Chain A
């Protein structure tokens, strides 16, 4: 169903209305086993092979809480500056759906494990960076559902399908939900704030080591809530947009929803509380099937599980395991490396931050490390449409390259060829150098041979040089470089040539 939305252009919409955002993210934990049972969580097993009576919800089965999942949640809460509950319970969220083996989901309701926190994010504006504090309402634990595939329809989606198939491998994997308090005052920056928040959250989860947080794989999911109101008036009705599967989509979903709701309100209409489905290809959302009334989940405390009451000393132990927050780390590195905000941002945008830090840690000079990662390698990654980290080049490779360049056995251009070889999977630095024969030719005798050969080919140039036109040496140097397939040190060739001809610079 294609949507024909009337929309108000963003600038106009934002001039008339104040947006209020709410972001709900779900993080799939990278624990070895599921939230309530010992089934493996690893991605990609054959359908219905990572299941047991508990995660299948077989009659008589009972859940038992994964301690590591609780630890991860507490660490996430601490990293988000939350308070950690002294005592909390799980609750049952009751509704019928075929991907839910028990037809209820074990979650947390009015007693989340972590609450009242915040995450500071920075948004780039034409006037410079602006900080926003996104307040966190809660961080709580729940279990993931099974996976549905829909058969018989044209699109593979639910609508029009004849029947569906369920794989419960994913059912029971620990899912941590992070809910923001309403985000107000972002105004025109709302889309970027949303994106910056999810990005920062993702980086934080990675730094904590609790999840892969890959949106494209579903280990980080985001639902975007947006409402508009005229300045000074009460908040409007919010819509919820799902199927937001990338950082870029987060930004676009907020933007498009502001534009859409502005059009509805401008025409005197009412924004409906609904769940919408985002489409990557159009950058717009379409309405889901509208529900007449909000679902009644009949929450009550989960009787099969006992309360979670983390002792304060356990919480402090976990606090001590927190890594440096990404924002603080970035500020520290920027200061240590003494580079401009802009240069730093380029580095971050290229996905090179970790790699540069690791390369410097391996002993490479800061400027050299940055040069390689943000220059040649970033270009290559971009051309190939892959992430920097996926090229197969490691900080150790860079270190070795720099060693060889420093020792004079490789020139910069030869080093680039070595990198090509590494990326092509031909081996490590030394292996590629050997197999491709990329060593700098530094043997004077060999170079003189090549110089003589070049001179013999271009006798008139030789005369010019002898006659004082030193610049003409370039042609001979070029010929020698060609003959040595770029493996000669050009400066050295030039020096030898001049010496040979008895000419000084």
Chain B
């Protein structure tokens, strides 16, 4: 297991949209490294022939009928919005086209 560097933490923080302060980066790097070392042992027993579990209680085919149901009132969501304009959520300028 390679150690987690400050640059790694910076990358993770960016992926997770966390604006960490510079002094936090080293602090977290240390803590995360320790945690990751200890959880890495899962690969010891994770043989190829063992199927992964994504759902603890097996179930399949849960559906709903294609019918319209009442939603929420716009006033309620507008009241909770940090910024609202022209019946829409106002968000800061976007740099990246998706």
Q: Which listed residue (B55, B67, B85, B91) contacts A306, Cβ 8 A?
A: B55
> What residue of chain B has the Cβ atom nearest to residue A40's Cβ?
B68
Q: Which of A163-171, A342-350, A401-409 contacts the other chain? A: A163-171
A74 in the interface, Cβ–Cβ < 8 Å?
A: no
Q: Which listed residue (B61, B74, B91) contacts A164, Cβ 8 A?
A: B91
B93 A306 Cβ-Cβ under 8 A: no
A165 B88 Cβ-Cβ under 8 A: yes
- Chain B, residues 82-93, CB within 8 Å of chain A (1/0): the string is 000111111111
A235 in the interface, Cβ–Cβ < 8 Å?
A: no
Shortest beta-carbon distance, A337 to chain B, in Å? Answer: 38
Instruction: Indicate whether A98 sits within 8 Å of B68 (C-beta atoms), given known contacts A56-B77, A306-B60.
Output: no
Instruction: Indicate whether A70 sits within 8 Å of B63 (C-beta atoms), given known contacts A162-B93, A163-B91.
Output: yes
A158 B67 Cβ-Cβ under 8 A: no
A307 B55 Cβ-Cβ under 8 A: yes
Instruction: Indicate whether A97 sits within 8 Å of B71 (C-beta atoms), given known contacts A64-B62, A64-B63, A296-B15.
Output: no
Residue among A53, A148, A165 facing the most chain B CB atoms (10 A cut-off) = A165
Instruction: Indicate whether A65 sits within 8 Å of B62 (C-beta atoms), given known contacts A96-B17, A97-B98, A148-B94.
Output: yes
Where chain A touches its partner, the secondary structure class is: loop
- Chain A, residues 22-49, CB within 8 Å of chain B (1/0): the string is 0000000001110001111000001111
Q: Which listed residue (B60, B86, B87) contacts A87, Cβ 8 A?
A: B60
B66 A67 Cβ-Cβ under 8 A: yes
Residue among B67, B89, B95 facing the most chain A CB atoms (10 A cut-off) = B89
Shortest beta-carbon distance, B20 to chain A, in Å? Answer: 16
Instruction: Indicate whether A66 sits within 8 Å of B68 (C-beta atoms), given known contacts A161-B94, A165-B86.
Output: no
Size range of the chain A interface in the assembly: 35 or more
B61 A309 Cβ-Cβ under 8 A: yes
> What residue of chain B has the Cβ atom nearest to residue A306's Cβ?
B59
Q: Report B48-66 residues with CB < 8 Å from chain A CB.
A: 54-55, 59-66
Q: Which listed residue (A69, A152, A277, A310) contacts B66, Cβ 8 A?
A: A69
Residues of A within 8 A of B44 (CB): none
Residues of A within 8 A of B67 (CB): 32-33, 38
A288 in the interface, Cβ–Cβ < 8 Å?
A: yes
B72 A166 Cβ-Cβ under 8 A: no
Residues of A with Cβ closer than 8 Å to B? Answer: 31-33, 37-40, 46-53, 55-56, 64-70, 87, 89, 95-99, 148-152, 158, 161-168, 275, 277, 288-289, 291, 296, 298, 300-301, 303, 305-310
Write 17 A-B pairs (CB below 8 A) sorted by A numbering. Answer: A32-B66, A38-B67, A39-B68, A52-B70, A55-B71, A64-B63, A64-B64, A65-B62, A66-B63, A70-B63, A89-B54, A96-B17, A163-B91, A163-B92, A298-B15, A300-B54, A309-B61
Residues of B with Cβ closer than 8 Å to A? Answer: 15, 17, 54-55, 59-72, 74, 77-78, 85-98
**Given A33-B66, A56-B72, A68-B65, 18 further pairs, Cβ under 8 A:** A38-B69, A46-B87, A47-B87, A64-B62, A64-B63, A67-B63, A98-B91, A149-B88, A158-B97, A161-B94, A166-B89, A277-B97, A301-B54, A303-B54, A303-B55, A307-B59, A309-B60, A309-B61
- 7 closest Cβ pairs, A-B complex: A38-B69, A52-B71, A68-B66, A67-B63, A165-B88, A301-B54, A47-B87
